[in-house]
Amino acid sequence: MKIQISSGTGKAHTKLAAFDAALHEAGVENYNLIRLSSIIPAGSNVAISKPIKERQGKWGDRLYVVMADMRVDTPNKEAWAGIGWVQDKKTGKGLFVEHEGNNEATVRRDIKASLEAMMGTRNIDFGEIQMEVAGRTCTHDPVCALVIAVYQATKWGNFPLRKGAR
């Protein structure tokens, strides 16, 4: 599986519109996002692609992601978001973490601390920590910083009801 990492920042008249602008810059604006937790499946290849070039699926499809986003509407405040990951070079399995904050140093520190703790819990050393971080300062209109790990898109289908369900 190819997992693409992208990032974007946006500015607009509302926090939600700034989030949408950041999704657009990252290349994933026309999907229904389904958030995942922190596990990278074995056999995965994680690569940075800004913006997402190999778009999967179609308008409105489900897009499975790990995502960090920070939205700020106070002038002179910063919005920072980041995703960090570690991965076994042989198997491809690994871990993602996502953090948000008001400055780059805090986000980077939290990513590193979380991944180290998660590897410690599992008693596994996946090696070097990788990360992608994005940020923007609010000057007047709200801003959003976003980093997203895109797994795959799937179509919506007809889901049969369980027997006896109405």
Domain boundaries, the chain: 2-154
Task: Please determine, for residue 67, whether its predicted confidence score (pLDDT) is greater than 80.
Answer: yes
Query: Which DSSP string corresponds to the chain?
Result: -EEEEEEEEEE-SSHHHHHHHHHHHHT-TTSEEEE--SEEPTT-EEEE-SS--S--S-TT-EEEEEEEEEEE-STT-EEEEEEEEEE-TTT--EEEEEEEESSHHHHHHHHHHHHHHHHHHHT----S-EEEEEEEE-SSS-EEEEEEEEEEEE-----PPPTT--
pLDDT reported for residue 161 = 56
Short-list 70, 96, 69, 80, CA closest to 151: 96
Query: Which are the contacts of 49, defined by CB distance < 8 A and separation ≥ 6?
Result: 4, 5, 6, 27
pLDDT reported for residue 160 = 55
Task: Please determine, for residue 8, whether its predicted confidence score (pLDDT) is greater than 70.
Answer: yes
- Percent above pLDDT 90 for the chain: 84
User: What confidence tens digit (pLDDT) does each residue in 123-145 have?
Assistant: 999 999 999 999 999 999 999 99
CATH of domain 2-154: 3.50.20.10
Q: In which region does residue 125 sit, left (phi positive, over 0), alpha (psi from -120 to 50) or beta (all else)? A: beta
